Structure 1
Amino acid sequence: MRRRSAFLAVSAVAATAAITVPSIATSPSHGDTAITSVVVNDGRTVVLGADRRETFRVSVTATDDSGIRSVSPVGVWGPKYGILKVSPMRCVRQSATTSTCTGTVSVDTGRKQVWNDEAGTWFVDAQANANDGDDARSGAAGGFSLKRASRLGVYGLPARAPAGSRATAQGWLSRVWWDSGDYHGSPDDHLQLLFRPDGGDTWTPVADEVTNPLGQVSAGVRLTESGWYRWVFAGSKWTGPARSKAVHVAVR
């Protein structure tokens, strides 16, 4: 059995999504203590690249009529026995009854502290402890997405072309292999080819394609006006989003 890490963390990238849990049922609990909110990575999706050390925050808000003494223990777990260790939580009192406690998690993908099959949905395991001895515990107090970083390239379009001619826009989508620290083609993913005319500010889809087993796509386009083309990948449950650079075609 391969070694599983006790540490994991996150790289937040430009195009990410928030997962915030505004209200959580906790079980088991004693008294009126409740965990009311969990925010991971400041509400952004976790996307990890290769050979990097990253850190993210875990914040837990809890309430009790006597006030919150601490939030501990706290851990993070995911698919295939993935585990994250959260640092000691520092609590800030929001009111007489409510506190928000925050800790950090770090991971170094270059040291193989996370594996390919651990991408997906992760959960926070937390216990809130009140001043009067009450407590609330949840093994899935909040959730977030941990994804593999991706890259997307565009090829094949001419710099100049006559009006009405046709060209083929090619693309290649790859995603990181945490197991090996490099990138490989990502198959069966949906990509869009977008076009923006010169002087315009709106990108319009002109083709939808699915990557082949090597992560490649191609789409034929008729060139009627000058402008910019790029491929875009919205991301999936396991893979972060990506977009290629924009390439210009001058139509004469």
Structure 2
Amino acid sequence: MRIRATVAAVSAVSGALALSAFVAPAAQAADRPSFASTVRDTVADLRADVRADAPAARGGAAAKGAAAIDVTVSGVTVNNSKDIVVGATGSYHVPITYTVNHAADLGAFGSAPVIYHGSTIDTSTWGYASDAVATCTEVSATASKCSADFTFLPAELLNIDAGTWRVGVAVATVDEETMLENVGTRKVLRTSKVTVDAAPEPVKKGATLTVTGKLTRADWDTNKYVGYGTQSVVLQYRPADSTAYTNVKGIKSTAAGALKTTVKASADGYYRFVFNGSPTGGKATAAGDHVDVK
């Protein structure tokens, strides 16, 4: 059994996001709670938070009268524009920034981002709300720059969650709330690892050198690293007196993730395998293995 958790509400007191835990068998997406219902609760509670503390919701601005909320979101940056690469264990802190564009008379408001895997929130396989209500700073009469954080937990992810995730942003005033979907994207990938070993060492110049290794990838269903099969990997070499690697040849991993190839030893240097990633697996580079050529 494995605990799965999802955001349930925004605290009106602290602004922190409360967690509601659910127990489900590992690797069974059907047993997950609905992220869409979580988002609806989060938006409603964000509005309640604003209503409870309207003067502090945006730099001390007083709340305006009821009006249809008219906002857009721009400039979304997730994880400093880098892929979110999540391993088999631990926790992964992911920052997000964005700008809420609004009418000059919007009044007090609050905002909280969500990130989800799927074309829409309603059809998402999984998602996260921000760890706390976003911190927003007014940069003009019609724009506020906001920042928040997500925490990705491998224990709550399944392999089907790897790929492109979308960003949604909730905005709430005293009287209205809205959820803007698909305002940004970011890839969420399973961590890959690759090893290398060149033998024999030392080796005679011109003799055959066998280079082996293994390519593995985080399995979110089991929270372990497993062999990553039939993937393209490049063998690289750099002379001992150089800092630059060059490609030697490309090979594919076996079904179990094993790597093996041969080269002719020419001079002292370092060999390494490089995996350039896949639609679901992050990039990986082995530490160079030094070979002494006699």
Per the normalisation by structure 2, the TM-score is: 0.70
* Greater per-residue helix proportion: 2
Amino acid paired to 1:123 = R
Q: Give 1:232's match in structure 2, choosing from 259, 263, 274.
A: 274
Higher RCO (CA < 8 A, seq sep 6+): 1
Residue 186 and residue 234 in structure 1: after superposition, are their counterparts in 2 closer, same or farther (change >3 A)?
same
Q: Within 2, Cα distance between the matches of 1:46 and 1:177?
A: 15
Relative to structure 2, which stretch is displaced further, 166-175 or 63-72?
63-72
Equivalent residues of 1:168, 1:221 under 8 A apart: yes
Instruction: Report what 2:254 is aligned to.
Output: 212
Equivalent residues of 2:86, 2:152 under 8 A apart: no
Residue 33 and residue 146 in structure 1: after superposition, are their counterparts in 2 closer, same or farther (change >3 A)?
same
Amino acid paired to 2:138 = R
Equivalent residues of 1:5, 1:84 under 8 A apart: no
Correspondence list, 1:145-164, <5 A: 145-164=187-206
Q: Give me the CA root mean square deviation.
A: 2.6
Identity %: 25
Correspondence list, 1:57-72, <5 A: 57-66=95-104, 69-70=108-109, 72=111
User: Shift of the alpha carbon at 1:58?
Assistant: 2.0
Q: Which runs of 5+ in 1 are unaligned?
A: 8-29
Q: Give 1:82's match in structure 2, choosing from 93, 105, 126.
A: 126
Q: Within 1, Cα distance between the matches of 2:125 and 2:109?
A: 27
Q: Within 2, Cα distance between the matches of 1:67 and 1:207?
A: 62
Equivalent residues of 1:33, 1:129 under 8 A apart: no
Equivalent residues of 1:71, 1:128 under 8 A apart: yes
SS at match of 1:251: coil
Correspondence list, 1:70-109, <5 A: 70=109, 72-79=111-118, 81-86=125-130, 87-109=132-154
User: Shift of the alpha carbon at 1:164?
Assistant: 0.8
Deviation sequence 1:84-105 (CA, Å, 0-9, x none):
1223111012223221111222
Q: Give 1:122's match in structure 2, choosing from 145, 162, 165.
A: 165
Q: Within 2, Cα distance between the matches of 1:33 and 1:82?
A: 26
Larger Rg: 2
Amino acid paired to 1:147 = L
Instruction: Report what 1:140 is aligned to.
Output: 182
Equivalent residues of 2:94, 2:152 under 8 A apart: no
Residue 4 and residue 236 in structure 1: after superposition, are their counterparts in 2 closer, same or farther (change >3 A)?
farther
SS at match of 1:42: helix
SS at match of 2:196: strand
Relative to structure 2, which stretch is displaced further, 84-93 or 195-204?
84-93
How many residues end up aligned between the 2 structures? 227
Q: Give 1:183's match in structure 2, choosing from 208, 211, 225.
A: 225
Equivalent residues of 1:38, 1:61 under 8 A apart: yes
Q: Within 2, Cα distance between the matches of 1:54 and 1:168?
A: 37
Q: Within 1, Cα distance between the matches of 2:276 and 2:244?
A: 17
Q: Which runs of 5+ in 2 are unaligned?
A: 1-29, 39-67, 119-123
Amino acid paired to 1:34 = T
Relative to structure 2, which stretch is displaced further, 87-96 or 190-199?
87-96
Amino acid paired to 1:98 = A
Equivalent residues of 2:112, 2:148 under 8 A apart: no
Relative to structure 2, which stretch is displaced further, 95-104 or 239-248?
95-104
Equivalent residues of 2:239, 2:267 under 8 A apart: yes
Per the normalisation by structure 1, the TM-score is: 0.81
Residue 222 and residue 246 in structure 1: after superposition, are their counterparts in 2 closer, same or farther (change >3 A)?
same
